[in-house]
Amino acid sequence: MLKLYYAAHSCALATHIVLEEVGADYSTVRIDFASGQQRSPEYLEVNPKGRVPALATDRGILTETPAMLAFVAQSFPAAKLAPMDDPFAFAEVQAFNSYLCSSLHVAHAHRMRGHRWVDADDAAAIAAMQRKVPESVGAGFDLIERDMLKGPWVMGERYTICDPYLFTLAQWLEKDGVDPARIPRVIDHRRRMSERAGVRKAIAQELA
């Protein structure tokens, strides 16, 4: 059985949704960020990075959302959530998810976790990072809106592991100061994703 370590309102939601949508046999463990559980010795044995998500498999622990999404898609090929029969198309999926992980999510994290990049007691530097978030996150979503979201799903007609990941990050854009009116296609995608049964179930489990 797979075991997903997650925190509510985190990028772990993307993998949680995909586990639901492929019909995986899995369990979940909630990590409480408010109490610092991600830095506990017990959790650091699971993920030495001290972050979520982490996915326990029968072969070991996986971390990093793009890798976890690809693993689930490959483990449940009947769900057809990635174009495994087309190396270039699969590389496009990986490229999109890598952009979300390495660029858009990092820009978002500057709003709450500036201490990762500057001294925690450097209030001016942290405030400067926070002021930049609406611009940097907005630019990332502008790029997705204009050049990367093929429609109706990220990769076009075929629903893939890219869609739950984009949906997850799009949950945060208003709090990041991004006007949703500037990215109508992303917002429509978010709306349609929210109507999917697997999405609703994963969110309900995380908020229970």
CA distance 46 to 58: 14
* Each residue's pLDDT expressed in tens, for the chain with a length of 208 residues: 999 999 999 999 999 999 999 999 999 999 999 999 999 999 999 999 999 999 999 999 999 999 999 999 999 999 999 999 999 999 999 999 999 999 999 999 988 776 777 787 888 888 888 999 999 999 999 999 999 999 999 999 999 999 999 999 999 999 999 999 999 999 999 999 999 999 999 999 999 8
Q: How many domains does the chain have?
A: 2
Instruction: Mark residue 40 as left, alpha or beta (left: phi above 0; alpha: psi -120 to 50; beta: remaining).
Output: beta
In this structure, the answer to whether residues 58 and 97 fall within a common structural domain is no
In this structure, the answer to whether residues 56 and 125 fall within a common structural domain is no
Looking at residue 114, its pLDDT comes to 67
Looking at residue 25, its pLDDT comes to 98
Looking at residue 34, its pLDDT comes to 92
Q: pTM of the predicted model, to two decimals?
A: 0.96
In this structure, the answer to whether residues 98 and 173 fall within a common structural domain is yes
CA distance 88 to 198: 28
In this structure, the answer to whether residues 113 and 72 fall within a common structural domain is no
Query: Which domain does 160 fall in, by range?
Result: 87-196
State both tokens at 152.
Answer: 């109706």
**6 strand-pairing partners:** 30
CATH classification at residue 133: 1.20.1050.10
In this structure, the answer to whether residues 54 and 109 fall within a common structural domain is no
Q: How far is CA 103 from CA 30, 120, 140, in A?
A: 26, 22, 8
